[in-house]
Every structure is written in C-alpha cells, then in structure tokens.
Amino acid sequence: MRNLVIKTRELLPVSPLPGNSPRADVGEIDTRALFQSVRDTVSLFGDVVSPRGKTAVAKKKAAAADEELLEAEAQHGLMVKARLSYTQQLRTTEAAKAQAQRELQMAEKTLEQLNHKLQTLTDSKEASIAATEAAKARAVELEEERAQLGDETWESALDNERELFKSTAAELTAF
C-alpha cells in the first residue's frame, strides 16, 4: 500500500467571471519513495513476523496471554465455588431462622397459656384464703355462741363448721 499525496498549486489569477478560466487548480501526485530505509519501515510498523512461524517474542507473549487466561479462569472458578458455598450457607441460615421463629411462637403461646393458668390459680388461692379467713371468723363467732348457748347445740354447730373448714382446706391444698 502506498500513500499517495496530492499537492495542489494555484495558477495565475483567475478571472472573476465563471467559465473564463480553463483550470482553477492543478493537482500533482507525489511519486517519491514512501520509506527512506528499512529501519524507518520497521520502526513505523514494528517487528515483522514471517507467515510461516512466530518469533520467540510473539510466542512468549502468546504463552503469557494463555497463562493469564488460565489464571483468570481459575480465579473465576474459585469465585463461583465461593458464591455457591455462600448461597448454601444463606439457605441453611434462613432455614434455621425460620425454625427458630416457629419455636419462638410456640414458646410464646405456651407462656401465654401458663400465665393464664397462673392467674387462675392465684385467683383460686385468694378465694380459698378468703374462705379460710371467713371460716376462722365463723369459728370465733361459734366460740362466743357456745359461751352463750349450751354444749349440745354448740357441738352440732361446731361439727358443721369443721366439715366446712376441712372442705375449704382440702380445696386449698389441691391447688
């Protein structure tokens, strides 16, 4: 491929009227040699490789490029394995989290049930304590009546109150 350079030169003054001048510009073709020496050509285009084989430098460059490609592929493979490992760990962690949330919900439900039972038992205990206090107060009243009434009437009333006290005490110990 040759670089052709076209040079133009101006001719004598041209008449301002169109069509009066046969030529406005004349072109010249540069026919000089494109390169002064082989050294200039090599410096312009670089090393020339014969079509039959590569030079040692070109072979080294190709080997280095292949080695870099293999290294990059190996790194890519390691990164893919790491990503798969992290994905598996994420799935395992999410499954464990879901299981822990289910267990937490079950524990909260159990806690709510136990709190309800505790409240029921507390209310029952307070009712039993109040009944026991009432029975003791009634026993004191009966003692006062005994002093005022006879022994026979008092003993039958005392037996009734004892039965009531025993049933209340049995309820209290059952809880």
In a domain, 99, yes or no: yes
CA angle 40, 46, 47 (to 5 degrees): 110
The 10s digit of each residue's pLDDT in 141-150 is: 877 877 777 6
The 10s digit of each residue's pLDDT in 82-115 is: 999 999 999 999 999 999 999 999 999 999 999 9
In a domain, 169, yes or no: yes
pTM, rounded to two decimals:
0.41
- The tally of domains found in the chain comes to 1
- Measured CA to CA, the distance from residue 88 to residue 93 in angstroms comes to 9
The Cβ-side half-sphere exposure at 157, using a 13 Å CA radius, reads 17
Q: Is the pLDDT of residue 132 over 70?
A: yes
CB 28 within 8 A of CB 8: yes
Residues 6+ away with beta carbon under 8 Å from 9: 25, 26, 28
Can you give the residue range of the structural domain that contains 31? 6-174
36 vs 166 pLDDT, higher one: 166
In a domain, 1, yes or no: no
* pLDDT for the residue numbered 41: 72
